[in-house]
């Protein structure tokens, strides 16, 4: 299977003023596309290695595959997690689970904002469902694929790479990490939570 870039599910200007159209267009059309291309290239190179029986470059290929495929998966989720009608806070089962796990929505939000702000270098924060313990957790992903909670399913992801905010917020990542809450599509997050819990 070849990966393809999914269309942005909304007009790139529709998240303004919280995220500019310029950021959305570059981020989606150029950065996300690069991860799609990188994943496909790594898959081609792995197919070639199988065909020739030459696995001398396998370790590097595995890292490249993990970086690019994880980047594609995270960005595909990020676009869906945001929306022009977002903001406020979750309701229903997801809200109750967040209260149970984190004490309150505000406590959860502070923890996840801190995770976004404090990523060293490039990475993500994520609200995930951890299936063994059957509970929500906040995860801080380094790059796209390191320091992850293995087996956990991301419900909400926030991109903390500079390309996600720098054109608008410059070095003020904390402002971006606060502003992004205005465009979180909680209906999307709640659908994913319901699906994970079965």
188 binds Mn ion (CB under 5 A): no
Cβ closest to Mn ion, residue 159 vs residue 188: 159
Widest CA span of the chain, in angstroms? 56
Answer for which of 102, 161, 165, 176 binds Mn ion (CB under 5 A) is 161
Residue of 125, 128, 159, 173 interacting with Mn ion (CB under 5 A): 159
DSSP assignment string, 98-163: HHHHHSSHHHHHHHHHHHHHH-SSSEEEEEEEETTTTEEEEEEEETTTBS--TT-EEEEEEE-SGG
Q: Does 79 bind Mn ion (CB under 5 A)?
A: no
DSSP string, 11-36: -GGGGTTTS-HHHHHHIIIIIIHHHH
In terms of CB distance, is 25 or 44 closer to Mn ion? 25
| Total of residues contacting Mn ion (CB under 5 A) | 2
Smallest gap from Cβ 31 to Mn ion, in A, equals 5
Q: Of 2-10, 84-92, 157-165, 177-185, which part binds Mn ion (CB under 5 A)?
A: 157-165
Answer yes or no whether residue 165 interacts with Mn ion by CB under 5 A.
Answer: no
Nearer to Mn ion, 180 or 190 (CB): 180
Continuous segment of H or E residues that includes residue 122 = none
Return residues touching Mn ion (CB under 5 A).
159, 161
């Amino acid at each position: 299977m070849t990966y393809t870039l999914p269309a942005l599910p909304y007009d790139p200007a529709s998240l303004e003023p919280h995220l500019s159209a310029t950021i959305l267009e570059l981020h989606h059309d150029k950065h996300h596309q690069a991860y799609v291309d990188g994943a496909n290239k790594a898959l081609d190179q792995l197919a070639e290695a199988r065909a020739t029986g030459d696995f001398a470059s396998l370790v590097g290929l595995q890292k490249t595959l993990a970086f690019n495929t994880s980047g594609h998966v995270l960005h595909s989720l990020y676009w869906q997690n945001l929306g022009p009608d977002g903001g406020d806070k979750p309701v229903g089962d997801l809200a109750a689970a967040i209260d149970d796990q984190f004490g309150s929505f505000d406590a959860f939000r502070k923890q996840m904002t801190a995770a976004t702000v404090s990523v060293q270098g490039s990475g993500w924060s994520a609200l995930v469902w951890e299936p063994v313990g059957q509970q929500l957790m906040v995860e801080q992903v380094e790059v796209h694929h390191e320091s992850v909670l293995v087996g956990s399913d991301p419900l909400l992801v926030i991109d903390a790479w500079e390309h996600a905010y720098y054109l608008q917020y410059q070095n003020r990542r904390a402002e971006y990490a606060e502003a992004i809450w205005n465009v979180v599509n909680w209906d999307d997050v709640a659908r994913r939570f319901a699906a994970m819990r079965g």
